[in-house]
């Protein structure tokens, strides 16, 4: 895949949108070749303290329009050449709307941990085995059902007034097409969708007091056509009215598509994403249902078992800020250990935890302390990877694909290599969520399989780094610290 900025020759274009926690990015892509012509950007505002993380959904809509305009302008592209659009969004966020489609309150984001008590109560109400059998995942504070339960208990009037309940990408897809549509991938992160049945689960809906009529229709895949761009949306975005709008999907599912993972591409190949959160996932034909994993569906009809940590790049950046260091100015942590759980943690399930620093000596340097923060974050993600790979042993020998903002940094890459001891592949493409969304858009235009589209575009190719000897001393030091600290972290209010 080649990055280009200008080309006067007319060509069919598709737009893939990555609406993440911090920003929206709109990739303008040549529909024939997959060439990334430009990426438009617009920032989001996240508010909240003491576990709260919220954003006004109207911010996402404005950012979508701004990023599309920026992308077309940067590419020197003509809006009439755009033939389709799709949105990939941050998972799990709770958006409640009135009858006119206006937000009743700011959206509760995936990293809002206030619903931890509701997650525990829901787990007790149904039991772990039943949750895994139905939803494929256990309740944690990140999941949407726990946020709906929190809303019912803490803001009952808002919950009662809701005329529609959406995920972030559903909200934007509906603004684009006028159709209330989601996809199996993002729906599988709600805990009210059954990955076993491929439909909303009436038992789970009854348990959380949610009316199915408030939810969007579930399209067969993220590349299915949700509808066409409405006149109002076309005017807001400056795009041709009537172009296909894909059902879209969650950000992790879109990244998998961008990497060519799925039924028409690579199966059981592990991926580690370093962003605001850290995630590990792999596309598989086996339905996941294991404690400690999110048993997601994929955007193409396969499955996407995933492990997620809350504290990744932002946590390391915070330590760099506190220490007055550049984020790349690190050294191995030595005896120092940092558990960087600054926002609580999802994996392991420690929603009320805070950061922990131990093992300091007079000889400990600032660089070592920052290195220990990287090591703590990477350890937590790789520990989730071990759980992901256990059911599919052949994947243990496959290269680890490293994506996300952290994959651009030497410090993150070397920490992953040193603590994993695995071969690492660095995909050349840097906007895999947006590129995956672009492949979904092209699938909505042509009816093709989105993974086959991305594979033909070759968006997942990359540079391979040989394995390093695994630093078992650092691994064991961090593991023993976590084991010893977990009871105290769990007991925090």
Residue 393's pLDDT is: 47
Is residue 8 over pLDDT 80?
no
Is residue 32 over pLDDT 90?
yes
User: Which pTM value belongs to this model?
Assistant: 0.88
In a domain, 145, yes or no: yes
Is residue 447 over pLDDT 90?
yes
**Residue 112 is a catalytic residue:** no
Residues whose CB is less than 8 angstroms from the CB of residue 316 and which lie 6 or more positions away in sequence, other chains included: 327, 340, 370, 373, 374, 377, 411, 412
In a shared domain, residues 233 and 271: no
The rounded mean pLDDT for the chain is: 93
- 182-222 pLDDT, tens digit each: 999 999 999 999 999 999 999 999 999 999 999 999 999 99
In a shared domain, residues 208 and 250: yes
Tell me what the mean pLDDT of segment 284-296 comes to: 90
Residue 488's pLDDT is: 66
Domain boundary pick from 225, 256, 287: 256
Indicate the helix (H) or strand (E) that contains 402.
strand 400-403
Residue 352's pLDDT is: 84
- 395-417 pLDDT, tens digit each: 567 899 999 889 999 999 999 99
Interatomic CA distance for residues 430 and 259, integer angstroms:
11
- 369-379 pLDDT, tens digit each: 999 999 999 99
* CA dihedral sign, ordered 154, 155, 160, 165: negative
Is residue 2 over pLDDT 70?
no
In a shared domain, residues 23 and 145: yes
Is residue 3 over pLDDT 70?
no
In a shared domain, residues 128 and 217: yes
Is residue 290 over pLDDT 90?
no
In a shared domain, residues 270 and 378: yes
Tell me what the mean pLDDT of segment 148-174 comes to: 98
Domain boundary pick from 209, 235, 256: 256
- 312-338 pLDDT, tens digit each: 999 999 999 999 999 999 999 899 999
In a domain, 449, yes or no: no
**Other C-beta atoms within 10 Å of 48: how many?**
15
In a shared domain, residues 216 and 278: no
In a domain, 1, yes or no: no
Q: Residue 347: pLDDT band by 50, 70, 90 thresholds?
A: confident
In a shared domain, residues 275 and 339: yes
In a domain, 110, yes or no: yes
In a domain, 405, yes or no: yes
In a domain, 6, yes or no: no
SS3 assignment, position 208: helix
Residue 7's pLDDT is: 47
Which CATH number characterizes residue 72's domain? 3.30.420.40
Residue 47's pLDDT is: 97
In a shared domain, residues 228 and 272: no
The total domain count for the chain is 2
Contact predicate 302/284, CB 8 Å = yes
% pLDDT > 70, the chain: 95
What does the longest C-alpha to C-alpha distance in the chain come to?
A: 66
Domain that holds residue 40: 13-256
Residue 41's pLDDT is: 98
CA distances to 96, 191, 199, 290 from 202, rounded to whole Å, are 20, 11, 9, 22
Q: Which of 135, 243, 116 is nearest to 189 (CA)?
A: 135
- 471-487 pLDDT, tens digit each: 999 999 999 999 887 66
In a shared domain, residues 66 and 165: yes
In a shared domain, residues 249 and 274: no
Q: Which of 106, 201, 251, 449 is catalytic?
A: 251
In a shared domain, residues 330 and 194: no
Is residue 146 over pLDDT 70?
yes
Contact predicate 256/455, CB 8 Å = no
Tell me what the mean pLDDT of segment 273-282 comes to: 91
Residue 131's pLDDT is: 97
Residue 487's pLDDT is: 66
In a shared domain, residues 303 and 243: no
| Token representation of residue 385 | 């990877």
Q: Residue 348: pLDDT band by 50, 70, 90 thresholds?
A: confident
- 452-462 pLDDT, tens digit each: 999 999 999 99
Interatomic CA distance for residues 317 and 492, integer angstroms:
25
In a domain, 130, yes or no: yes
* Residue 362 annotated as lining a ligand binding site: no
- 69-128 pLDDT, tens digit each: 999 999 999 999 999 999 999 999 999 999 999 999 999 999 999 999 999 999 999 999
* Residue 91 annotated as lining a ligand binding site: yes
Q: What angle do CA 411, 463, 381 make, to 5 degrees?
A: 45
Interatomic CA distance for residues 215 and 204, integer angstroms:
13
Domain boundary pick from 201, 231, 256: 256
In a domain, 348, yes or no: yes
Tell me what the mean pLDDT of segment 177-181 comes to: 98
Is residue 350 over pLDDT 70?
yes
């Amino acid at each position: 895949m080649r990055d280009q900025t200008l080309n006067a020759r007319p060509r069919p274009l598709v737009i893939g949108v990555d609406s993440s926690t911090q920003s929206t990015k709109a990739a303008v892509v040549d529909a024939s070749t997959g060439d990334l012509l430009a990426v438009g950007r617009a920032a989001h505002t996240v508010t909240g303290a003491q576990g709260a993380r919220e954003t006004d959904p109207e911010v996402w809509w404005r950012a979508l329009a701004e990023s599309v305009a920026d992308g077309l302008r940067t590419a020197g592209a003509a809006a009439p050449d755009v033939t389709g659009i799709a949105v990939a969004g941050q998972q799990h966020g709770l958006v409640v709307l009135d009858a006119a489609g206006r937000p009743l309150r700011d959206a509760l984001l995936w990293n809002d941990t206030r619903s931890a008590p509701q997650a525990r109560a829901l787990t007790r109400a149904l039991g772990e085995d039943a949750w895994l059998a139905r939803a494929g995942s256990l309740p944690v504070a990140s999941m949407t059902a726990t946020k709906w339960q929190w809303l019912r208990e803490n803001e009952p009037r808002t919950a009662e007034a809701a005329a529609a309940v959406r995920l972030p990408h559903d909200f934007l897809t509906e603004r684009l097409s006028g159709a209330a549509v989601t996809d199996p991938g993002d729906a599988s992160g709600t805990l009210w969708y059954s990955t076993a049945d491929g439909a909303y689960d009436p038992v789970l809906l009854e348990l959380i007091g949610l009316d199915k009529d408030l939810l969007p229709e579930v399209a067969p895949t993220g590349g299915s056509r949700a509808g066409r761009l409405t006149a109002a949306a076309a005017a807001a975005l400056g795009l041709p009215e009537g172009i296909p709008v894909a059902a879209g999907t969650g950000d992790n599912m879109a990244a998998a598509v961008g990497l060519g993972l799925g039924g028409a591409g690579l199966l059981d190949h592990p991926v580690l994403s370093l962003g605001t959160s850290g995630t590990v996932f792999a596309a598989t034909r086996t339905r996941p249902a294991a404690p400690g994993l999110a048993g997601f569906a994929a955007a193409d009809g396969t499955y996407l078992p995933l492990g997620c940590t809350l504290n990744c790049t932002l946590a390391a950046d915070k330590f760099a800020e506190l220490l007055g260091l550049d984020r790349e100015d690190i050294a191995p942590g030595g005896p120092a250990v940092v558990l960087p759980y600054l926002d609580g943690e999802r994996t392991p399930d420690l929603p009320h935890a805070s950061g922990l620093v131990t093992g300091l000596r007079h000889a400990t340097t600032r660089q070592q302390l920052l290195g220990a923060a990287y090591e703590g974050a990477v350890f937590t993600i790789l520990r989730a990877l071990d759980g992901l790979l256990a059911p599919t042993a052949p994947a243990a020998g496959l290269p680890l694909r490293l994506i996300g903002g952290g994959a651009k940094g030497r410090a993150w890459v070397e920490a992953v290599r040193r603590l994993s001891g695995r071969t690492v592949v660095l995909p050349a493409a840097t906007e895999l969520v947006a590129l995956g969304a672009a492949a979904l858009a092209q699938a909505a235009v042509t009816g093709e399989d989105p993974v086959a589209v991305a594979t033909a575009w070759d968006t997942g190719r990359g540079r391979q780094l040989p394995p390093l000897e695994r630093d078992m001393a650092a691994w064991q030091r961090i593991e023993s610290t976590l084991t010893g600290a977990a009871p105290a972290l769990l007991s925090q209010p």
